[in-house]
């Protein structure tokens, strides 16, 4: 592995690790706020227990998210100094606002976690809501920074110089809205299904049924609503990518030849040498329709893009297929759940429905990782699309490979410990909150 590849892998690993914790830290406070609200309204002890049990889990995720985020803010410079030297002043606005959001989140979390029975109950509830809102705000802001890398704005690039900088325009670049919307929904869907699945598992085991059913219901509603909206927002993203980054769209679809009435390619093996996809199902005209809202439109293929500006095609394509495939699965499960709620209440405790939710535990997170691979790998070879290439941004320091090995070891062990801790939390629920 050379140092450049190591730097890219280390960045991907750190972000891929952080995103899981960030999503949970962003979404769980809302679940807690609902449970907490119900407790304050109805006085049913079980809702208080749900809130408390969740808040313990969140504290673990929050701190892990915070340290991995701290690492990221250094890594941007440690690995991509040339990028940061030029990009920092331009896309820094969302990061500086994000700092505020984090701070508020940290303060509110202090009130929330340590404030049980110490404050007016509604003030205490409110601090929990603030944790959620500021977490969401930080997620949106950081995604706006990433969107700037895909769709640079707020400066002029003349003769290798960045002039006429406007940080506000940079923040509200063309891609920020579609990406932020899609990311937010993804966080709700992924966290919602993961939490719902864990409680479904406990319901099936017949432990603390009342507790777990209440928890399941809160998580499942968030998850399913988000999962229904997700493909709609994905469609907005795809149209946006088609406009801004034709190379990425072509790689996502493994669309080699520019053509009218372009077909949507599903499955298949990408052969980057022969410029074709083997054994795939092709639906005529659908890609044209998805990208441009018209099944006759022309879709730019990779043949229109100079070879040295091609992103890695196979990975981008497979990652896109995984994301969309999982999105469809989650959509189907959501529809089943809505039917259950509306017509077939008796299904709620049936093992097959619970099993489906248990199987869905990791789906959202896999889709999130896949989606980010699409975005980031599909942008290659650019770090700032059309402006700066990733190779030109990497640190001159040799030996990044060792740093990559080190961080890999750290992240792998952390993941194991966090999983172990959560397992213990969940196992203890019965003993602590037995009612």
Hey, what are 335's tokens? 């529809």
* 67-106: burial string, b at 16+ Cβ within 10 Å, e else: ebbebbeebbebbbeebbebbeebbbbbbebbeebbebbe
Do residues 13 and 408 make contact, with C-beta atoms less than 8 angstroms apart? Answer: yes
User: How many H helices and E strands in the chain?
Assistant: 13, 10
Parallel/antiparallel/unpaired status of strands 281-283 and 264-266: antiparallel
Restricted to residues 116-155, the positions that interact with other proteins (CB under 8 A) are: 118-119
Environment class of residue 279 by beta-carbon count within 10 Å: exposed (0-12), middle (13-18) or buried (19+)?
A: exposed
- Only one of the segments 59-67, 77-85, 184-192, 255-263 lies at the binding site for ligand HDD (rule: CB under 6 A); that segment is 184-192
Q: Which does 235 bind (CB under 5 to 8 A by kind): ligand HDD, ligand HEM, other proteins, none?
A: ligand HDD
- Only one of the segments 8-16, 88-96, 363-371, 387-395 lies at the binding site for ligand HDD (rule: CB under 6 A); that segment is 363-371
4 vs 378: CA distance, rounded Å: 17
Q: Which is nearer to ligand HDD, 68 or 127 (CB)?
A: 68
* 293-325: burial string, b at 16+ Cβ within 10 Å, e else: eeeebebbbbeebeeeebbbbebbbbbbbbbbb
- Asked if 419 is part of the footprint of other proteins (rule: CB under 8 A), the reply reads no
191 vs 147: CA distance, rounded Å: 23
182 vs 187: CA distance, rounded Å: 9
- Asked if 94 is part of the footprint of ligand HDD (rule: CB under 6 A), the reply reads no
Environment class of residue 326 by beta-carbon count within 10 Å: exposed (0-12), middle (13-18) or buried (19+)?
A: buried
From residue 4 to residue 43, the character string flagging contacts with other proteins as x (rule: CB under 8 A) and all else as - is ----------------------------------------
Hey, what are 386's tokens? 């059309």
Q: Which does 231 bind (CB under 5 to 8 A by kind): ligand HEM, other proteins, ligand HDD, none?
A: ligand HDD
DSSP state at residue 115: -
Q: Which is nearer to ligand HEM, 70 or 415 (CB)?
A: 70
- Asked if 235 is part of the footprint of ligand HDD (rule: CB under 6 A), the reply reads yes
Q: Which is nearer to other proteins, 106 or 269 (CB)?
A: 106
257 CB-near residues (< 8 Å, 6+ apart): 275, 301, 302, 303
Restricted to residues 294-333, the positions that interact with ligand HDD (CB under 6 A) are: 323-324, 326-328, 330
- Asked if 115 is part of the footprint of ligand HEM (rule: CB under 6 A), the reply reads no
Answer for which of 106, 269, 335, 339 binds other proteins (CB under 8 A) is: 106
- Asked if 380 is part of the footprint of ligand HDD (rule: CB under 6 A), the reply reads no
Q: Which does 175 bind (CB under 5 to 8 A by kind): ligand HDD, other proteins, ligand HEM, none?
A: ligand HDD
Q: Which does 114 bind (CB under 5 to 8 A by kind): ligand HEM, other proteins, ligand HDD, none?
A: other proteins
Q: Which does 188 bind (CB under 5 to 8 A by kind): other proteins, ligand HDD, ligand HEM, none?
A: none
Annotate 4-72 with three-state secondary structure.
HHHHHHHHHHHHHHHHHHHHHHHHHHHHHHHHHHHHHHHCCHHHHHHHHHHHHHHHHHHHHHHHHHHHH
- Asked if 132 is part of the footprint of ligand HEM (rule: CB under 6 A), the reply reads no
Residues in contact with ligand HEM by the rule CB under 6 A: 8, 11-12, 15-16, 18-19, 21-22, 25-26, 61-62, 65-66, 69-70, 72-73, 76, 80, 83, 102, 105-106, 135, 138-139, 142-143, 145-146, 183, 369, 372-373, 376-377, 379-380, 383, 390
Residues in contact with ligand HDD by the rule CB under 6 A: 143, 150, 175, 179, 182-183, 186, 189-190, 230-231, 234-235, 237-238, 241, 323-324, 326-328, 330, 364, 367-368, 371-372, 374-375
């Amino acid at each position: 592995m050379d140092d450049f590849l190591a730097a890219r892998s280390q960045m991907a690993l750190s972000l891929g690790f952080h995103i899981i914790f960030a999503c949970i830290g962003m979404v769980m406070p809302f679940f807690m706020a609902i449970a907490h609200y119900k407790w304050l309204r109805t006085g049913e002890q079980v809702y208080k227990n749900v809130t408390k049990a969740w808040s313990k889990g969140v504290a673990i995720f929050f701190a892990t998210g915070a340290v991995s985020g701290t690492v990221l803010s250094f890594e941007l410079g440690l690995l991509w100094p040339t990028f940061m030297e030029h990009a920092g002043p331009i896309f820094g606005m969302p990061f500086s606002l994000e700092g505020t959001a984090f701070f508020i989140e940290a303060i509110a979390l202090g009130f929330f976690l340590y404030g049980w029975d110490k404050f007016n109950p509604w003030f205490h509830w409110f601090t929990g809501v603030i944790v959620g809102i500021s977490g969401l705000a930080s997620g949106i802001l950081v995604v706006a920074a990433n969107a700037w890398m895909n769709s640079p704005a707020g400066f002029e690039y003349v003769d290798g110089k960045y002039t006429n900088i406007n940080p506000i325009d940079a923040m509200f670049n063309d891609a920020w809205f579609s990406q932020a919307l899609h990311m937010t929904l993804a966080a709700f869907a992924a966290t919602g299904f993961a939490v719902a699945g864990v409680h479904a598992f406990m319901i099936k085991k017949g432990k603390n049924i009342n507790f777990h059913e209440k928890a399941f219901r809160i998580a499942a509603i968030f998850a399913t609503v988000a999962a229904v909206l997700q493909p709609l927002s994905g469609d907005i993203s795809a149209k946006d990518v088609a406009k801004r980054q034709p190379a990425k769209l072509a790689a996502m679809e493994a669309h080699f030849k520019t053509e009218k009435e372009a077909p949507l390619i599903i499955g298949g093996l990408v052969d980057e040498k022969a410029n074709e996809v083997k054994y795939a199902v092709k639906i005529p005209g659908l890609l044209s329709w998805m990208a441009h809202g018209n099944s006759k439109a022309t879709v730019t293929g990779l043949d229109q893009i100079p070879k040295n500006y091609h992103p890695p095609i196979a990975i981008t394509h497979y990652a896109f297929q995984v994301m969309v495939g999982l999105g469809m699965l989650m959509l189907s499960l959501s529809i089943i759940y809505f039917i259950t709620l509306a017509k077939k209440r008796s299904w709620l405790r049936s093992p097959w429905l619970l099993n489906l939710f248990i199987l869905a535990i990791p789906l959202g997170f896999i889709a999130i990782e896949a989606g980010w691979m699409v975005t980031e790998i599909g942008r290659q070879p650019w770090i700032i699309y059309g402006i700066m290439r990733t190779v030109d941004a990497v640190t001159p320091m040799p030996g990044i490979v060792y740093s990559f090995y080190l961080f890999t070891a750290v992240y792998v062990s952390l993941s194991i410990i966090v999983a172990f801790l959560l397992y213990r939390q969940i196992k203890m629920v019965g003993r602590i909150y037995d009612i």
